Structure 1
Amino acid sequence: MIQLRGHHLLCMLGFRGMGYSKEFVEHMKNVYNQLRIEPQTEVLIVTGPDELCHYFPDNQCYHCEDKNVADRDQQILVKLGLHSGQKLAWQSVESRIRQHMHPSDIAVLCSTCSWRSYGVCEEGVQRIKEGYSLLPLPKKSV
Structure 2
Amino acid sequence: MIYLRGHHLICLHFFTGEGYSEEFVENLHAVIGRAKNEGIFVVEGADDVCKKCPFLVKRTCKDEKEIAEMDKIALGLLNLKIMDTVSWDKIKEKLPEIFNRWYSLYCIPCIYLNVCSKTALLNSLRNISS
Q: Structure 1 residue 113: deviation in Å? A: 2.5
- Are the counterparts in 2 of residues 103 and 123 from structure 1 also a CA contact under 8 Å? no
TM-score after normalising by structure 1? 0.74
Report 1:1-142 matches (<5 A). 1-36=1-36, 38=37, 41-57=38-54, 64=61, 65-98=63-96, 100-103=97-100, 105-117=102-114, 118-119=117-118, 120-128=120-128, 130-131=129-130
Following TM superposition, by how much is the alpha carbon of 1:21 offset from its aligned partner in structure 2, in angstroms? Answer: 1.2
Whole-angstrom CA distance in 1 between matches of 2:106 and 2:126: 15
Q: Structure 1, unaligned stretches of length 5 or more?
A: 132-142
The DSSP-based 3-state class of the residue aligned with 1:49 is coil
| More helix, by proportion | 2
Percent sequence identity is: 28
Preserved contact between residue 50 and residue 56 of structure 2 (Cα < 8 Å): no
Q: Quote the Cα distance in structure 2 between the aligned partners of 1:74 and 1:126.
A: 26
Q: Which amino acid aligns with 2:99?
A: H
TM-score by length of 2: 0.80
Q: Distance in 1 between matches of 2:46 and 2:68?
A: 9
Q: Deviations over 1:53-108 (max 9, x none)?
A: 01112xx575825211110010011011011110122112212224x313453121
Report how many residues are paired: 124
Query: For the aligned residues, what is the CA RMSD?
Result: 2.3
Equivalent residue letter for 1:90: W
Is the CA contact 2:2–2:34 (under 8 Å) kept in the aligned structure 1?
Answer: no
